[in-house]
Amino acid sequence: MNPPGQHRSHPGPPSDLRRRSTLAGEAAAASAEVEVALSVPVDPTAAAFFDVDNTVMQGASIFHLAKGLYKRKFFRTSDILGAMYKQAWFRIVGVEDPEHIADARNSALSFIAGHTVTELEELGEEIFDEVMAHRIWPGTRALAQRHLDEGQRVWLITAAPIEIASIIARRLGLTGALGTVAEHQDGVYTGRLVGELLHGPAKAAAVRAIAEHQELDLSRCSAYSDSINDLPMLSLVGDPVAINPDPALRAHARDHGWQVRDYRTGRKAARIGLLTGAVGGAAAGGIAAALAARNRPHA
């Protein structure tokens, strides 16, 4: 509760949100630099960027991770109820209210403070084997492999935490991953994000940063996603592809002559995919901000 005479603070103006999105993108790109150093592509000016949830993997990776962490008593139900409400509001209602986003971020981050990066990474490896590996879409995996075979780098780019994104990329033999970045000190989470979630405009900022660092020609690059929220990223590249698209992205792709690939089968599968993005994402979305990591420089 605020002290008498004081009003609840509100997020900054749109320019501040844009700044935080840019910061999130740059932080994600910087954290991925070590991955780049490990390989020299045959085709150095082209790359492919893949969203994860419902694009590479059936369902929401953060939802699968959250379930696994809950089973291991990483957090309590009461820790995330408030964050779930805020995420549900802007995922289902479709209004990304800046105040709700800020509240969701702050409440979601509170319960990971004190957990170690090593702890999350080790649990993430276990959870990938248990519930994620068999949910990889074979068709999307084949597309990623095609880019690798052509000598291009292939990146995952997701709002999920960088730890789990990196695990998925490594297990699939990809170049690396860009994910939501939160700070830690001496290997322990502080409970604060670096910038915003790697979502929407922040993904586009991350792609731009990678392109600048690696001297990529974006007109020769490809991007893949299921969600209209990734339109800023898809619009950056010369080869945007809609994978298992939501209705809005399908319509946009059709109107602009983009490729569409749908690996779901039947109306039931399509409904499941949409529900996972809206309800499943809302249930675990409050944790997405919390379970990210790489450290932010301190003064």
Residues assigned a catalytic role: 51, 53
Asked if 224 contacts 44 with a C-beta cutoff of 8 angstroms, the reply is: no
From the list 297, 248, 284, the residue with the least C-alpha distance to 66 is: 284
Asked if 290 contacts 104 with a C-beta cutoff of 8 angstroms, the reply is: no
Cα angle 169, 180, 155 (rounded to 5 degrees) comes to 30
The two structure tokens encoding residue 11: 């997020």
Cα angle 153, 65, 24 (rounded to 5 degrees) comes to 50
